[in-house]
Amino acid sequence: MHVTEGVIVSLERGGGSGAEEVDAAGLLILPGGIDAHVHSRDPGFPHKEDFATLTAAAAAGGITTVVDMPNTVPAVENVAVFQEKVEIASSRARVDFALWGLLGSESRPEDVHGLLDAGSVGLKAFLGYAIRRSDRQVVYTPWQDDPELEAPAGSGAIARLAPDLARRGAPLAVHCEDPDILRSFARRSRTYADLLASRPALAEAVAIASLGVISQRTGLEVQVVHLSSALGLAAAREARRAGARMVLETCPQYLWLSDEDAERLGPIMKMYPPVRTGADRAALIESLRAGLIDRVGTDHAPHSDGEKLGRSLDDALPGSPGVETLYLSCLELARRQGDVGAAARWVAEGPARSLGLFPRKGAVEPGADADLLLVDPSAETVVWAAAMHSQQRHGCLEGQRFGFAVRSVYSRGELVARDGEPVGRAGRGRLVRPER
Ligand SMILES: [Zn+2]
């Protein structure tokens, strides 16, 4: 393979004169990973994470593009905030990044078009989450009547703005849990069973079915993020059969864990939507194998240790870091399915295609960015908090064994990590814009 100025120019063997050569004997050469779903917490929550620690973890794990969700502070709801966030990320990132914009209940068409013009990969709606007027923070528990909060984003705002998004060919990512069902089922989480009962899979299925109808009627492409249940999966299949345009994303936590892990992991496993049963897990794994799920993203959502570890299940904040273990966890899952190459479809080609970044990202071919990793298929990695690079080191895949090790990671031809340790400099990452 030959790389010039960060771009792959040919896949032929042998070096040209003056070329720096890399020997990859015995190693797999894979396209750099794209995590379509991370929460950098930057700007807004430096005690949880920022683009420097996020992308150190990403680089170490073979993720060469992170796609950040818009619930930073202030929320990325217009072009001015988007530009500020690009500046911040550019100054700290070790790998490339793309950004989602926010669709809130009071978003205007000009906000949507401004965000897309600026290079947003699409918009994200958090069903049941509302923007606080004072600091433009996206907050949860929106069903308490609070004049400080705008109305939560819901079917109204989505239906109103769907034609604008559809006309631009831009997707809407949605956190799919029906807020009214969550409100009706709400209860304290003394046990993990309580947590599961308070956020039933039916809430996911109802949200997906309703978005399916909006998609059919408006042409909107809905991207269901962090799909967690067999019921939600069934709703998505029915929506697609009826003509909805629907991209599906699931996460390693739903593919590796079930409610049986709750006792071992405690508050670390608290996530929204929750990790459900072994049957849900099996259905998601089978759908991934069958190609019904388009990508695996992490929903990387770090908090400080004090917000997670020392708290009861009820008081712990929802979310877990995950970007660093995404690629390895998918390689191991793909190996067990007898097709190691499938991992590159789930974490590189799939996200690149669904976000309009393909083939500049997510491909190993002439003309693509030289975002590459070399992986040793005869080594083993055990996930261990002390070896992680996110600011919150305790992730929900702690202790899992993967039969691979990431050796070298290149972003646009530049070495950004070696043997699980980031190298090189922060502040070299660039904004990646979709092509539609
Ligand atoms: Zn998320």
> Which positions ≥6 away from 289 have C-beta within 8 Å?
337, 342
The radius of gyration of the chain's CA atoms, rounded to the nearest angstrom, is 20
What's the CA-to-centroid distance between 367 and ligand 1, angstroms? Answer: 32
What's the CA-to-centroid distance between 176 and ligand 1, angstroms? Answer: 11
Looking at this protein, which amino acid is placed at residue 111?
D
What's the rounded Cα separation, in Å, for the pair 232 and 200? Answer: 10
Backbone angles phi, psi at 352, to 5 degrees: -60, -45
What's the CA-to-centroid distance between 41 and ligand 1, angstroms? Answer: 11
Instruction: For residue 120, give both structure tokens.
Output: 């947003």
What's the rounded Cα separation, in Å, for the pair 389 and 391? Answer: 6
Position 7 scores a pLDDT of 97
**CB count in 10 Å sphere of residue 1:** 17
Taking each helix axis from N to C terminus, what angle separates 51-60 and 79-92, rounded to the nearest 10 degrees? Answer: 60
What's the rounded Cα separation, in Å, for the pair 19 and 10? Answer: 13
Could you read off the pLDDT of 405-430 as tens digits, one per residue? 999 999 999 999 999 999 999 999 99
Position 16 scores a pLDDT of 65
pLDDT at 329 over 90: yes
Q: What end-to-end distance do the CA atoms of the chain give, in Å?
A: 29
Nearest one of 242, 375, 208, 223 to 299, comparing CA atoms: 223
What's the CA-to-centroid distance between 301 and ligand 1, angstroms? Answer: 7
Position 15 scores a pLDDT of 63
What's the CA-to-centroid distance between 417 and ligand 1, angstroms? Answer: 25
Q: What is the mean pLDDT of the chain?
A: 96
Higher pLDDT pick, 141 / 271: 271
pLDDT at 305 over 90: yes
Instruction: For residue 354, give both structure tokens.
Output: 């669904």
What's the CA-to-centroid distance between 47 and ligand 1, angstroms? Answer: 18
What's the CA-to-centroid distance between 227 and ligand 1, angstroms? Answer: 11
What's the CA-to-centroid distance between 157 and ligand 1, angstroms? Answer: 19
What mean pLDDT comes out for the span 326-343?
A: 98
Could you read off the pLDDT of 31-59 as tens digits, one per residue? 999 999 999 999 999 999 999 999 999 99
What's the CA-to-centroid distance between 270 and ligand 1, angstroms? Answer: 13
**CB count in 10 Å sphere of residue 330:** 25
225 confidence band (pLDDT: 50, 70, 90) = very high
Q: What percent of the chain has pLDDT over 70?
A: 98
Could you read off the pLDDT of 163-207 as tens digits, one per residue? 999 999 999 999 999 999 999 999 999 999 999 999 999 999 999
What's the CA-to-centroid distance between 145 and ligand 1, angstroms? Answer: 24
Instruction: For residue 63, give both structure tokens.
Output: 């993720």
DSSP category for residue 422:
E
What's the rounded Cα separation, in Å, for the pair 420 and 58? Answer: 10
Looking at this protein, which amino acid is placed at residue 17?
S
13 confidence band (pLDDT: 50, 70, 90) = confident
Q: What percent of the chain has pLDDT over 90?
A: 94
Position 20 scores a pLDDT of 85
What's the CA-to-centroid distance between 378 and ligand 1, angstroms? Answer: 33
What's the CA-to-centroid distance between 179 and ligand 1, angstroms? Answer: 16
What's the CA-to-centroid distance between 307 and ligand 1, angstroms? Answer: 17
Residue 369, strand partner residues: 7
What mean pLDDT comes out for the span 370-390?
A: 98
What's the rounded Cα separation, in Å, for the pair 266 and 244? Answer: 38
Could you read off the pLDDT of 54-74 as tens digits, one per residue? 999 999 999 999 999 999 999
37 touches 249 (CB < 8 A): yes
- DSSP one-letter string for 326-376: HHHHHHHHHHHTT-TTHHHIIIIIHHHHHTT-TTTSS--STTSB--EEEEE
What's the CA-to-centroid distance between 69 and ligand 1, angstroms? Answer: 7
What mean pLDDT comes out for the span 130-140?
A: 94
Helix or strand holding residue 86 (H, E): helix 79-92
Looking at this protein, which amino acid is placed at residue 177?
E
Position 21 scores a pLDDT of 87
pLDDT at 355 over 90: yes
Higher pLDDT pick, 17 / 139: 139
Taking each helix axis from N to C terminus, what angle separates 109-118 and 79-92, rounded to the nearest 10 degrees? Answer: 30
What's the CA-to-centroid distance between 127 and ligand 1, angstroms? Answer: 12
pLDDT at 89 over 70: yes
pLDDT at 140 over 90: no
pLDDT at 146 over 90: no
For residue 107, the number of C-alpha atoms closer than 13 Å in the C-beta half-sphere is 35
Question: Chain-centre distance of CA 251, in angstroms?
Answer: 8
What's the CA-to-centroid distance between 251 and ligand 1, angstroms? Answer: 10
Nearest one of 60, 44, 4 to 416, comparing CA atoms: 60
What's the CA-to-centroid distance between 283 and ligand 1, angstroms? Answer: 21
415 touches 423 (CB < 8 A): yes
pLDDT at 296 over 90: yes
359 confidence band (pLDDT: 50, 70, 90) = very high
333 touches 347 (CB < 8 A): no
pLDDT at 142 over 90: no
What is the model's pTM?
0.98
Position 86 scores a pLDDT of 98
Angle at 422 between CA 419 and CA 296, to 5 degrees: 80
